[in-house]
Chain A
Amino acid sequence: MADALQLDPGKSEKKRKALSTTLILFIVLVAMVAVFSVLSRDFYSFLNLSAMLTNISFSGIVAGTLTMVLITGGLDISIGGNIALTSCLVAYLFNLEKPVPGWALVPIALALGAAIGAFNGVFITRLDLNPIITTLGTMAVTRGLGYVLTKSRSILIMENVTGFIGRTVVPGIQIPIPLVLMAITYILLFFLMEKSKFGRKVYCIGANPAAARVSGIRVNGVKFILYLMSGIAASVSGLILTGQTAVGMPQHANGVELDVITAVLLGGTALSGGKGSILGTLAGVLILGVLYNGFTMIGFRYVHIRVFQGILLILIVALYELREKKRY
């Protein structure tokens, strides 16, 4: 039965390595949970872990879609502005004299996210603009529109549909709905990237866009869909955040780009494209969440953690860069 013993030949060296990177990350995650549990008695409690996971779910969802964008060599930093504008629009519409009903808020929010994503996608693919600059512009536009819409104020929104999305738990097992949404997102994206034809095209585009085009892959079409997905994911995150805080405000998700990009890069996705995995990003998101929560629990202040996070981002990139250099 020599055949059965043989290593799966279809799994590339790269895949094997990506897998092992992910494995290392999950080991780090478990180790961190263990350390923080020893350092703080309150850390390893159902209440704290559940709160932590709920807190990371809104950035976790956009990290998933951003992973795919990064694999094609693109970037989307408009997600924070998108989240903020979604929350502002939803709260604004609900607080009109004739309020838009709760059930209509969800499709409206998703349509907004899709529109922002499509806007990015069109400019980046059709006009071949630089994704960083394009989405930087969109970030300013969306967050700015949030300020305009709310007249720079926070709008309270006590409403059932967003409340359900952001503030309820699955009855019986006590798992928060945001966490369920994040889990569904990651399962779908995992199958999309690892098992589907579309995912294979995404990887090929990242590895060599010119070769992908010559191979008949509709490079622009695929990229457009990814920016569209990123936009829609951001509006889902916007709904979650609106529900969690019961407020629509333009300052929402300020600086979330840093969290999300750090998590994706930590998960082993390369800024240059072609490499990365959804599972890696999941590990990255969880590690960052545990770090934030753990440091808070043992008494660090948010501002200090922020400094630490910036340094961490640079360290991660340096580390992967060194590893890449060592290979050749």
Chain B
Amino acid sequence: MGGQLLEMRNISKQFPGVQALKDVSIDLGAGEVLGMVGENGAGKSTLIKILAGDYSMDVGEILINGQRAVFRSPSDASEQGIRVLYQELVTLDTLTVAENLFVGHLPTRRASGLVDWKSANESAKAVLRQMNIDLDPRTIVGDLTVHQKQVLEIAKAVHKKATILVMDEPTAALGEEDTQSLFGIIRNLKEQGVGIIYISHRLKEVFEITDRVTVLRDGQKIGTVRTEQANMAQLIDMMVGRELAEFYPKREVPVGETLIEVRDLTIKGIIEKVSFNLHRGEIVGLFGLLGSGRINVLRALYGLDSYDGGTIEVKSKPVSIAGPDGALDNGIGYMPIDRKLEGLALGMPVSTNITMANIDRIGGGFFFNHKLERQKAEKWVHDVSIRTPDIGTEVNSLSGGNQQKIVLARLLETGSKIFLMNEPTRGIDVGSKVDIYQMMENLCEAGAGIIMISSELPEMLSMADRIIVIAKGRITGEFSRQEATQEKLLHATTL
């Protein structure tokens, strides 16, 4: 490892009412991957935004190759070779791969000043080939998968001579295969001497790809450990500051009567004759790859998408679900995959978000009972342990874990018995995950049933009582918790 590529020394940053960072120091060598972990709100994002020149720091200094650097804007940071790949990628979706790669400096013909497309596409191809990336420069970026877009962003950063690359939850939307492909690219970058800061909630990956790990908690650095000398339990302890007796608090709940019976559910061209059921006290996992149709099953059951054939019986009575309001009337609740897109009214207070699916039941007749709403919101903030200054706080100022708990609280407030959960713990911190698992188990004990989609295999294997595998719109396997293994599930997705 060469000299210190990057040093951030004694960084402090205060926001109104919050000490976001307190005396945090990190360092990064050339060719090194530094993992950065911590619960939401631990200060990771703030630290990265300071490094990227988005925020100014109150105290501290940044050294690049031993030289003091001052970032007044993101362009200052980018001139020093710093690139951040945010979770939400900012590709130009209507343009081609080559245009994205060379945005701002497309090669032009000297005579006319017009873009020289031939040379642009050829040099794009060369740049991509150099990094072992298989992308056609003429593809429209909007048609790429999330992983391909990510790879393109990395290529762009490297092309622009980035020496310090920050990846914020790069695998959040990736499957196993794409994750491995990304790791291949990261190893390639290491060899070229790029220093990488790798932020992730997925500790397994952190162990796989990083050289050292820095743990942040409540705006402070808890410590930096060499990855090879660390273990999972130790990291979790450092992150949450308390012992986590068991990560997955699975309880044995006796299975009761059938809650929902789905027969031959068909959406033309997407899912075909999908049949399964769910009982009281049970968590059924729907497992499949991206595009397998498992999400369409959930959306159809909730009335978000229409279906072409099949029957749905709730508690042995046939129902036809025309929309989410109809689903809720039948005791079916839904937790969307993306809390920001379909889950929350971000600019609205906690209380409004908690009662949003229940407006008609808060107060009798025409009027909305604000007092009743407050009582309900206070109750759920307490019961689901949502950390918020008060119920009037806008949800966009809360951490991901707390936002997810608000979505859950709304679901619970509907009094549903059948819960459809699409990635219930996506992108949230360890502590909140455990809270949500606990809540799921409580629901099962109270006689509810849960249909869950999760792309995190350990979560699926640990939490689901039964796992149904869907591939190309058909059910290709069903396993009990005892039978299921990672290999069996993955094999079933290929059938």
Contacts and interface: CB of A to CB of B under 8 A. Distances in A.
Interface stretch (A84-92, A123-131, A210-218): A210-218
A200 B346 CA distance: 15
Interface stretch (A10-18, A30-38, A75-83, A242-250): A10-18
Nearest to B373: A10
Interface residues of B, number: 42
B325 A12 contact: no
Nearest to B336: A214
B410 interface: yes
Contact of B367 (A197, A203, A214): A197
Given A10-B391, A197-B366, A216-B324, A208 B357 contact: no
Interface string B385-406: 0000011111000000000000
A13 B349 contact: yes
Contact of A197 (B302, B344, B363, B377): B363
B357 A216 contact: yes
A275 B347 contact: yes
A16 to B, nearest CB: 8
A211 B363 CA distance: 22
B388 to A, nearest CB: 11
A137 B370 CA distance: 40
A199 B370 CA distance: 12
B351 A208 contact: no
A72 to B, nearest CB: 12
Contacts of B360: 197
A212 B351 contact: no
Given A10-B351, A14-B347, A211-B344, A204 B356 contact: yes
Contacts of A215: 324, 356-357, 410
Interface in B349-392: 349, 351-352, 356-357, 359-360, 362-363, 366-368, 370-371, 373-374, 377-378, 390-392
A242 B378 CA distance: 52
Contact of B324 (A13, A203, A213): A213
Contacts of A201: 359
Interface residues of A, number: 29
B47 interface: no
A217 B325 CA distance: 7
Nearest to A9: B390
A217 B359 contact: yes
Contact of B328 (A195, A211, A216): A216
A297 interface: no
A204 B373 contact: no
Interface in A87-138: none
A193 to B, nearest CB: 10
Given A210-B342, A215-B410, A14 B367 contact: no
Given A10-B374, A211-B345, A216 B352 contact: no
Contacts of B363: 197
B343 interface: yes
Interface string A200-241: 110110011011111111100000000000000000000000
A97 B370 CA distance: 56
A218 B325 contact: yes
A172 to B, nearest CB: 33
A20 interface: no
Contacts of B325: 216-218
B304 interface: yes
A196 B367 contact: yes
A214 B368 contact: no
A10 B348 contact: no
A274 interface: yes
Interface in A250-309: 274-275
Nearest to A221: B325
B356 A211 contact: yes
A274 B351 contact: no
Given A14-B349, A195-B367, A9 B359 contact: no
A208 to B, nearest CB: 4
Contacts of A198: 366
A4 to B, nearest CB: 15
Contacts of A13: 349, 392-394
Given A211-B343, A214-B304, A200 B368 contact: yes
Instruction: Pick from B327, B368, B378 the residue with the most CB of A within 10 Å.
Output: B368
Contacts of A196: 366-368
Nearest to A206: B345
A214 B324 CA distance: 6
Given A200-B359, A204-B352, A211-B342, A216 B327 contact: yes
A9 B368 contact: no
B198 interface: no
B368 A195 contact: yes
A318 to B, nearest CB: 20
Instruction: Pick from A11, A201, A208, A214 the residue with the most CB of B within 10 Å.
Output: A214
Given A13-B349, A211-B356, A214-B324, 16 more contacts: A9-B391, A10-B371, A10-B373, A12-B392, A195-B367, A197-B368, A200-B352, A204-B356, A207-B348, A211-B342, A214-B302, A214-B334, A215-B357, A216-B324, A216-B328, A217-B359
Interface of A: 9-15, 195-201, 203-204, 207-208, 210-218, 274-275
18 contacts: A9-B391, A10-B373, A12-B351, A13-B349, A13-B393, A14-B347, A15-B349, A197-B362, A198-B366, A200-B359, A208-B346, A211-B343, A211-B344, A213-B304, A214-B336, A215-B356, A215-B410, A216-B414
What 4 pairs across the A-B complex have the smallest Cβ distances? A207-B345, A12-B349, A215-B357, A10-B374
